[in-house]
Amino acid sequence: MKVIKFGGSSLADSDQIKKVINIVKSDSKRKCIVVSAPGKRNPADTKVTDLLIRYANQAIEHNDFTNTQNAIIDRYQEIANGFGITTEGFSPIKQAIKELPEKKYPNDEYLMAAFKAHGEKLNAQLIAKVLSILGIKARYLDPADVGMIVSNVPDDAQIAPESYCRIAKWKLTEEILVVPGFFAYNSDGDICTFSRGGSDITGSVMARGLDAELYENFTDVDAIFSANPNVVKNPHAIAHMTFREMRELSYAGFSVFHDEALIPAIQGNISVNVRNTNNPDAPGTIISSKIEPNKDYPVRGISASKNFCGLYISKYLLNKEVGFTRKVLNILFKNGVGYEHMPSGIDDITIIMDENNLTPEIEHAIMTELQDAIHPDEMHIIHNYAIVMVVGEGMRNTVGVMARATKSLANAGIRLQMINQGASELSIMFGVSQDDADKAVQALHTEFFKKG
Amino acid sequence: MKVIKFGGSSLADSDQIKKVINIVKSDSKRKCIVVSAPGKRNPADTKVTDLLIRYANQAIEHNDFTNTQNAIIDRYQEIANGFGITTEGFSPIKQAIKELPEKKYPNDEYLMAAFKAHGEKLNAQLIAKVLSILGIKARYLDPADVGMIVSNVPDDAQIAPESYCRIAKWKLTEEILVVPGFFAYNSDGDICTFSRGGSDITGSVMARGLDAELYENFTDVDAIFSANPNVVKNPHAIAHMTFREMRELSYAGFSVFHDEALIPAIQGNISVNVRNTNNPDAPGTIISSKIEPNKDYPVRGISASKNFCGLYISKYLLNKEVGFTRKVLNILFKNGVGYEHMPSGIDDITIIMDENNLTPEIEHAIMTELQDAIHPDEMHIIHNYAIVMVVGEGMRNTVGVMARATKSLANAGIRLQMINQGASELSIMFGVSQDDADKAVQALHTEFFKKG
C-alpha cells in the first residue's frame, strides 16, 4: 500500500480536490490519504491556516472575529458545494468552526494549536465525506483514533515512538483512511501541532507505521529541480535523490519537503515520491536511502541561501590557546545565538551564523563580551553573507569536483570568502557575498549540468 | 642598531664561532648578540643542551654523571682552545659546569631548567671572552642584569611586560652585549627556560626592548623556502614574507623560526632577517608586518604536516541541535584533547586533531562518551590524515587561487578529504591522506611557482 499526502495548494478548492480524487482512484494501492488545510487558490489568496491563526488571535484578544469565522466557513462551504454535500451534511464542519472559541484550553498556546489544527481536521472530515458520496469506501481517521501520541509542545510536537505499532494495526483496513496532517494529541488529550508545514510529517509517520511501499507527497511542482528555477533557466528535474542529498539541499533553500518529515521515512526506509497534483503523469522525484551514482553527474543539486553572516576573529597563537572555541561558543549560547559553521585558519576563526538571529543589540552584546573574554587582535562581523551548497553523493571518491566548482566560480569573477568541506564529501559549501549568490549558482549549474 | 642571534649549529665549535665573529665584525650596527648553546658539529653529534638534560637526569637519579660532565666540559674546552683562552681563563666555565649538581633548586623541574640554561649561559660568557681577546669591546650580559623577568613556569616561561623598559636602558652601551638565549629568571631569582628552541625568543625580546632596526636570526639555511627542499626540488628562496605568513606556514612544518619568538617582533614591529652563518653573503629571508603583493606569485609557501587525525560525526538534523558542538568539545576537553579545525557539512562535523594527543585509550574514552552523550548516526576516526597548507597574503582578493590549487590536486589524482578556508583568505587548508601529502605539495608548488 501507499500513503499519499496532499499539500494545501492541492486542496485549495473543489476543483483541486477533484484532481485529488482522480489521483486516489487511479491506483488501488493508495489506501491512506493525509491532507493539509486548504491553501491558496491564487497568489493573492490567504491560506486557511493563516485565517485560523487570525481567528485564534482575535479570540485570545477578545476582538470581533465574525468576519474571520465566516471567511473560514466559506472556504469549506465552497468545497462542500462542489461535491453536492447537503446543508445538513456540512453543519458539523460549520459547528466545529463556530465552537472553537468556546472550548477550554490549558493556555493560549494550546488554543492556538487547536485552532490551527482544525484546518487539517475539518478538511480531512470533508474529504472523507466527499469520497463516500462518490461511492469510494473511506473513513476519517483522527490522530486520536489512530493512536498517534506526541510530546507536550503545542507548536513543535515530536512523535512518540509507541505511536508506530498502534498505527500498524490499521494496515489491513478495507476503507481508504483519510488522516488530517499537521497535528496529534499529547498524553492529556490536548491538540499539539508539528512545526509549520508539518503535514509532511504526519504522512511520513503514517507511511512508516503502515510500512508503506511508497510515500507519495503531492504538491504543485513537477519535481525537485537541480537549482531554483527562479535563478537558473531550465534546471534538471531530479528523478532520484538520496535522503541525505535532500537534507543538504533543503538547508540552503530547497524547501519542497519538510526536513523533519524525512526522519520517519529514513527510519522506516520508506521511499518518498514528490509529485504534482496538477500534472499527475509526471513521475516526480523519488527520494530514497541509496541510489546508484551517475558518473556524468556527480552533483545532484545546487542551492543558495542568503541569510547568513560571519563573525571573524583573529588572534596570534589562537591555535595554541586551549578552550578558545568553547569560550566563544559559550558567549554565543548565552546570547541565544547558535552557530552554523566554523571554518578556521591557524590563528583565526570565522563563525557563520543565521543573520536572522543577530539583532544589532545581540551583536553589540556578543562583541563586547568577546572583546573582554578573549582579547582578539581583530574581530568583525561580515554581513550580506550567502552560503552556496553543491550537493551530491557522487562527489565522494570523485576527484576533481572541487576543481571544476572553483574554476567555474573563478571564471565568473566570484570571490570565495569561505570554503568548507568535511569528511562526508557529500557537499561543498562556499561563502560568497549576497550579491554574488545567484551568479554563483548559475555558474556552478552550467558547469555540472550543461553537458556538450 | 641590530640584534643578531646565532643558533646552535652556528656555535657548534671554534671554526663556526670564527664565522660568527666575522659576521659580528662586518657590521658595526650589530651591537647585541644572542647566543644558543653549542649544537651538533655533524649529524651524529649530540647537542650540548641534550648533554645537559642527560647530566640533570643523572644528578636527579643520583647516577654517575662523570662522563656526561666531561663531555660537556670538552665541548667548551674545544672552543676555548680555538681562541687561545688560558686554563685560568677557562676555569670559571669548568667550575660552573661542575658545581651545577651541588646548588639548591626549589625542585627537580627548576634543577632541569638551570642545567639546560647553562648551555647558553656558559657559551655567552665564553664568546664575550673571545671577543675581548680579539680586541672587540664586549661584555657578557646576564638576563638578571638586563632585567628580564619571566613567569614562574620552569620549562615554558613567558616574558613579563615590564622587562622591555629595563632592556631599553642598555640601548646606548658602547660595548657589544653578549646575551645568552633561552632563559631568564622568575621573581624569586630561579632560572626558568622558554620552550625548546627558545633562544629565538630571547633575541626577539632583546630586539623589541632595544628597539632594534633589525633582528638578524642566523641559522644554517640560506633562506626560508617556498616548500620543504626534501619534498620539492629547488624550491624558491623567499626574499620577503609577513609575520602572518610565517605563522601559518610554521603550523604545518616550517620550523625555521620559533612561533613564540614572533610575538615580541610583531609587538615592536621589528623586522626579522633569517640568514645563514655558513653563507653570510646570502640575503636570507626578511619577515615583517607588511609587504607589497606580487601579482605573479599570490602564494608564498606550501607546507604539509602529517600528524593529524579526523573524528567524523554525523547525525540527522544535527544542525538543528543547539549546543551540539559544545557537548563534543567538552568531552574532548575533559579527555585533554584539543581540536585543530572543525569543517562541517549540514548534519556532520569533522574534528581535526593532533594525532599525537590521541592514544588508543583516550580514543576509546572519547568515542564511548560521545556515543552516550550525542547518539550519532555515524562516527569514526580517520587516521593517517595530513594537512596541506597553501599560504599567501596575495591570495586575498585574488580570484582563482582556489581553482588553480584544486585543479592541480585533481590532475595529480589526489582526493581531498577536507577543505577549509575562512574569512582571512590568507591560507587554504586541504586534508589529504598521509600517502598523498608529498605529492600534494609537489603538485601545488609546480602550479604556483614554476612559471612559463
Residue B360's CATH number: 3.30.2130.10
Residue numbers in A near B424 (CB within 8 A):
312, 314, 345, 348, 350
Asked which of A158, A193, A220 is the last residue of a domain, the reply is A220
For the residues A207-227, what does the mean pLDDT come to? 96
pLDDT reported for residue A264: 95
Q: For residues A6 and A34, give the distance between their C-alpha atoms in angstroms, rounded to a whole number.
A: 6
* B294: in domain: no
CB contact under 8 A, A259 and B415: no
- Which sign, positive or negative, has the C-alpha torsion B241, B243, B248, B250? positive
Q: Min CA distance, A124 vs chain B (Å)?
A: 30
pLDDT reported for residue A2: 97
Q: Report residue B337 as a C-alpha cell.
A: 584533547
Phi-psi domain of A158 (left: phi exceeds 0; alpha: psi -120 through 50; beta: other) = beta
pLDDT, one tens digit per residue, over A311-353 is 999 988 887 777 788 889 889 989 988 888 888 888 889 999 9
For the residues A174-185, what does the mean pLDDT come to? 97
Q: Report residue B304 as a C-alpha cell.
A: 604539509
CB contact under 8 A, A266 and B431: no
pLDDT reported for residue B219: 93
Nearest neighbour of B406 by CB, restricted to A260, A329, A402: A402
Residue numbers in B near A319 (CB within 8 A):
251, 340
Please report the DSSP string for A304-331 in residue order: EEEEEEEEEEE-TTGGGSTTHHHHHHHH
Phi, psi (5° rounding) for residue A403? -65, -45
Residue A438 assigned to a binding site: no
Best of A339, A395, A406 to substitute, by most chain B Cβ atoms within 10 angstroms, is A406
- Of A69-73, A344-348, B156-160, the least confident: A344-348
Q: For residues B335 and B323, give the distance between their C-alpha atoms in angstroms, rounded to a whole number.
A: 19
Task: Assess whether pLDDT exceeds 70 at residue A26.
Answer: yes
Nearest neighbour of A348 by CB, restricted to B314, B317, B422: B422
The interface residues of chain A toward chain B in range 202-231, judged by CB-CB distance below 8 A, are: none
- Beta strand A301-314 with A378-391 is antiparallel
* B364: in domain: yes
Q: For residues B416 and B406, give the distance between their C-alpha atoms in angstroms, rounded to a whole number.
A: 9
* A308: in domain: yes
State the alpha helices, DSSP H only, in B349-436: 360-374, 401-411
pLDDT reported for residue A319: 78
Verify that A186 and A95 share a domain, yes or no.
yes
pLDDT reported for residue B452: 46
> What percent of chain B clears pLDDT 90, i.e. is strictly above it?
80
* B203: in domain: yes
Residue A5 assigned to a binding site: yes
Count CB pairs under 8 A between chains A and B: 185
Q: For residues A430 and A420, give the distance between their C-alpha atoms in angstroms, rounded to a whole number.
A: 7
* B293: in domain: no
Q: For residues A98 and A70, give the distance between their C-alpha atoms in angstroms, rounded to a whole number.
A: 9
Asked which of A220, A246, A261 is the last residue of a domain, the reply is A220
Residue A190 assigned to a binding site: no
Q: Which residue has the cell 585509550?
A: B361
Average pLDDT in chain B: 93
Give yes or no for B269 touching A (CB within 8 A). no
CB contact under 8 A, A420 and B425: no
Task: Assess whether pLDDT exceeds 90 at residue B259.
Answer: no
pLDDT, one tens digit per residue, over B61-112 is 999 999 999 999 999 999 999 999 999 999 999 999 999 999 999 999 999 9
- Of A26-40, A62-76, B225-239, B336-350, the least confident: B336-350
Q: Report residue A121 as a C-alpha cell.
A: 481536521
Residue numbers in A near B323 (CB within 8 A):
333
CB contact under 8 A, A403 and B425: no
Nearest neighbour of A344 by CB, restricted to B397, B403, B422: B422
pLDDT band at residue B451 under the 50/70/90 scheme: low
> What percent of chain A clears pLDDT 90, i.e. is strictly above it?
80
Verify that B321 and B394 share a domain, yes or no.
yes
Residue numbers in A near B428 (CB within 8 A):
419
Verify that A213 and A306 share a domain, yes or no.
no
pLDDT reported for residue B144: 95
Q: Which residue has the cell 569561505?
A: A418
Residue numbers in A near B322 (CB within 8 A):
333, 338
For the residues B140-148, what does the mean pLDDT come to? 95
Verify that B281 and B331 share a domain, yes or no.
no
Task: Assess whether pLDDT exceeds 60 at residue A452.
Answer: no
Verify that B241 and B389 share a domain, yes or no.
no
State the alpha helices, DSSP H only, in B134-195: 143-146, 163-168
The domain containing residue A414 runs over which residues? 301-449
Q: Report residue A201 as a C-alpha cell.
A: 510529517
| Nearest C-alpha in A relative to B346 | A248
Rg, C-alpha atoms of chain A? 25
Q: Min CA distance, B59 vs chain A (Å)?
A: 33
Q: For residues B125 and B16, give the distance between their C-alpha atoms in angstroms, rounded to a whole number.
A: 17
CB contact under 8 A, A343 and B319: no
Q: Which residues of A198-235 are buried (b: 16+ CB within 10 A; e: fewer)?
A: bbbbbbbbbbbbbebebbbbbbbbbbbbbbbeebbeeb
Provide the strand spans (E) within A245-391.
272-276, 285-288, 301-314, 348-354, 378-391
* B335: in domain: yes
pLDDT, one tens digit per residue, over B202-212 is 999 999 999 99
pLDDT band at residue B295 under the 50/70/90 scheme: confident
Residue numbers in A near B312 (CB within 8 A):
422-424
Q: How many folded domains does chain B comprise? A: 2
Best of A321, A379, A421, A425 to substitute, by most chain B Cβ atoms within 10 angstroms, is A421
- Beta strand A138-140 with A378-391 is unpaired
Give yes or no for B350 touching A (CB within 8 A). yes
Best of B267, B354, B420, B428 to substitute, by most chain A Cβ atoms within 10 angstroms, is B420
Verify that B282 and B393 share a domain, yes or no.
no
Verify that B83 and B173 share a domain, yes or no.
yes
* B199: in domain: yes
Verify that A158 and A61 share a domain, yes or no.
yes
Residue numbers in B near A343 (CB within 8 A):
341, 343, 420-423
Residue B260 assigned to a binding site: no
What is the rounded end-to-end Cα distance, in angstroms, of chain A?
42
Give yes or no for A253 touching B (CB within 8 A). no
The interface residues of chain B toward chain A in range 410-439, judged by CB-CB distance below 8 A, are: 410-411, 413-429, 431
| Nearest C-alpha in A relative to B327 | A326
Q: Which residues of A31-42 are buried (b: 16+ CB within 10 A; e: fewer)?
A: bbbbbbbbbbbe
Verify that A104 and A200 share a domain, yes or no.
yes
> What percent of chain A clears pLDDT 70, i.e. is strictly above it?
100
Give yes or no for A343 touching B (CB within 8 A). yes
Verify that A206 and A334 share a domain, yes or no.
no
Verify that B317 and B276 share a domain, yes or no.
no
Asked which of A155, A188, A220 is the last residue of a domain, the reply is A220
* B295: in domain: no
Residue B51, Cβ neighbours under 10 Å: how many? 21
Nearest neighbour of B423 by CB, restricted to A310, A325, A423: A310
pLDDT band at residue B255 under the 50/70/90 scheme: confident
The kind and range of the H/E element at B77 are helix B66-82
- What CATH number is associated with residue A193? 3.40.1160.10
Q: For residues A325 and A342, give the distance between their C-alpha atoms in angstroms, rounded to a whole number.
A: 10
SS (H, E, C) A408-435: HHHHCCCCCCEEEECCCCCEEEEEEEHH
Nearest neighbour of A415 by CB, restricted to B382, B397, B409: B397
Verify that B282 and B322 share a domain, yes or no.
no
Best of A194, A331, A346 to substitute, by most chain B Cβ atoms within 10 angstroms, is A346
pLDDT, one tens digit per residue, over A357-413 is 889 999 999 999 999 999 999 999 999 999 999 999 998 878 889 999 999 999 999
pLDDT band at residue B270 under the 50/70/90 scheme: very high
* Inter-residue contact A138 to A180 (CB < 8 Å): no
CB contact under 8 A, B326 and A326: yes
